[in-house]
Amino acid sequence: MMGGQGCSRRTRDARRKFVLPVLGLLTALLAVVAGTFIPIRTTPAASEMSVALNEIATFGNRVSSCTGRFRLEWAPVDMGGVSLEQQRVLEERVVEGRWMMDGVRFREDTTTVYADTGRTERLAVAFDGSRTAILWEDGTLDHLQDLEMVADHVQFGLWLGIAHHYRPEARRLTHSIPLEGDQPTIGATETVGQTDCLRIDANQSAGGSWYTWWVAPQYGYMIMRVDSVSPVSPADPEHPQSVRHREEVLEVTDFGNGIFLPTVVERVASRLNPDGSVDKVYFHQTFTAADVTVNEPVDPGVFELESHTP
């Protein structure tokens, strides 16, 4: 009996030594087969967010050249509580301008008329691909080394969403698009005007401001609205308020070949009550583009400015 039990135990041990490696091999083979035929799944929200971030970051890349005219209206509404310096910056005015862009080269000519004084300012800013130029009101011409400083004077690209062509850091500087550092998440589909949009919320503040974007997949993931909300120190601590800067696209133009651009855009700065209602409107701006051409030849000579001084 003892010998039989010993033989049986040895048989069981031998089977165990054989079966375990086979099971391990089968497990490994199943893992390979599963990996071959069953793709790794990501959550729908994560996949959708990845697609949205990529499409938003490349918006406007199909635009290689662009020309047009624009009108920019600045209209302060209530300057109470705004510093004198800010009031001068937000002084009521109308800017009439035209622009030309071809790749990294650009030019913008503007005439600004201030409502209160009737004062007029003319300015031309250009970059020919190698050097910058600013033609001032008095006809003098300056060539500045800092492209960013020159680009600060240019309006059209930021409103149209194509400033990144000649100013690579434009989107990061203005927080105009969601970035991974914002820890963005996609919420429900919401309507802006008559356009269905994906709502994207930042879960990380940028300079104390919280951003929300509404993006329209049907327009090449154009940002139809962006809100920036910052808390302010209220006179009554029990009723905290905040300031909201909102930029919203009011009109979109289809240029064909999957190219869409915002041609009427509004910016509004408001003070909000704790419930989100508007307490007061500080100012609003309206940008309207006209005679816009996309991806048509541009004469290289237009990017060269000459002094008008005697």
For residue 308, being part of any structural domain is answered with: no
Same domain, 166 and 251: yes
pLDDT at 244 over 50: yes
For residue 115, being part of any structural domain is answered with: yes
Residues 141 and 124: their CA atoms lie apart, in Å, by 9
Q: Total domain count for the chain?
A: 2
Q: Which of 2-6, 209-213, 231-235, 237-241 has the highest mean pLDDT?
A: 209-213
Same domain, 60 and 31: no
For residue 309, being part of any structural domain is answered with: no
Residues 71 and 110: their CA atoms lie apart, in Å, by 9
Mean pLDDT of 54-67: 93
Query: What local confidence, expressed as pLDDT, does residue 11 receive?
Result: 36
pLDDT at 16 over 70: no
CATH classification of the domain holding 238: 2.50.20.10
Partners of 269 in beta bridges = 245, 283
Residues 48 and 56: their CA atoms lie apart, in Å, by 12
For residue 97, being part of any structural domain is answered with: yes
Q: How confident is the model at residue 181 (pLDDT cuts 50, 70, 90)?
A: confident
Same domain, 66 and 207: yes
Q: How many Cα atoms are found within 13 Å in the side-chain-facing hemisphere of 294?
A: 19
Percent with pLDDT over 70 in the chain: 75
Same domain, 126 and 263: yes
For residue 310, being part of any structural domain is answered with: no
CA 160 to chain centre: 10
For residue 18, being part of any structural domain is answered with: yes
User: Are the CB atoms for 112 and 121 separated by under 8 Å?
Assistant: yes
pLDDT at 75 over 80: yes
Residue 35, domain extent: 2-40
Mean pLDDT of 190-199: 96
Same domain, 74 and 215: yes
Contacts of residue 121, defined as CB under 8 A and 6 or more positions apart, other chains included, come to: 110, 111, 112, 114, 137
Query: What local confidence, expressed as pLDDT, does residue 64 receive?
Result: 96
Query: What local confidence, expressed as pLDDT, does residue 79 receive?
Result: 58
Same domain, 31 and 57: no
What would the two tokens of residue 210 be? 């919280």
Same domain, 53 and 35: no
3 state SS of 133: strand
Contacts of residue 125, defined as CB under 8 A and 6 or more positions apart, other chains included, come to: 106, 107, 108, 132, 133, 134, 135, 150, 153, 154
Same domain, 61 and 197: yes
For residue 273, being part of any structural domain is answered with: yes
What would the two tokens of residue 154 be? 């240019």
pLDDT digits (tens, 9 = 90+) for 37-49: 334 334 456 688 8
Instruction: Summarize the chain as % helix, strand, coil (round to 5).
Output: 25, 40, 30
Same domain, 78 and 33: no
Query: What local confidence, expressed as pLDDT, does residue 41 receive?
Result: 39
What would the two tokens of residue 23 be? 């099971």
Q: How confident is the model at residue 211 (pLDDT cuts 50, 70, 90)?
A: very high
Percent with pLDDT over 90 in the chain: 45
Same domain, 7 and 79: no
Same domain, 253 and 205: yes
Same domain, 97 and 181: yes
pLDDT digits (tens, 9 = 90+) for 111-167: 999 988 889 999 999 999 888 899 998 889 888 777 777 777 898 998 999 988 888
Query: What local confidence, expressed as pLDDT, does residue 247 receive?
Result: 95
Q: How confident is the model at residue 308 (pLDDT cuts 50, 70, 90)?
A: low
For residue 36, being part of any structural domain is answered with: yes
